[in-house]
Amino acid sequence: MKADIAVSGAVGLVIGGSAFLATSWLSAYLPFFIQGSLGAAITFAVLLLIALAEMPMMVVAMRNMARSPSTPRGILLGTNAGYTAFASVYACIFVLATGQVSGGLALAALGMLRFVSGVFVK
């Protein structure tokens, strides 16, 4: 089971990384909605707070899914891959809104933390 979770988390990291890479490239050709550094900092803080707040809830939900005999293994693994990849959604939103790839990279790095938190699903 741990190997399956690790593989699905790695798939999520690849999907999230690909989405972030495409968004970073695309951001060079699009105008930014948030120009000032204060607006970018507030946007970063809000997205970081949302990304961190959902992590414990998702880990508990996936633990309950793993312990339930009625949950198919594929659903659990798909949920873990989506959970891991979803960190890049916040990063992509930040990059497209502000044009700051470095801040987006920090948000995308939460995917690694989500990958590690998948270990607690058993």
What percent of the chain is predicted at pLDDT more than 90?
80
What integer pLDDT is reported at residue 1 of this predicted model?
A: 64
- Taking residues 47-69, report their average pLDDT: 94
Res 36 pLDDT > 90: no
Q: How far is CA 78 from CA 58, 111, 114, in A?
A: 13, 15, 14
Do the Cβ atoms of 40 and 100 come closer than 8 Å? yes
**What confidence tier does 11 reach under pLDDT thresholds 50, 70, 90?**
very high
Measured CA to CA, the distance from residue 85 to residue 23 in angstroms comes to: 14
Question: How confident is the prediction for the chain on average, in pLDDT?
Answer: 92
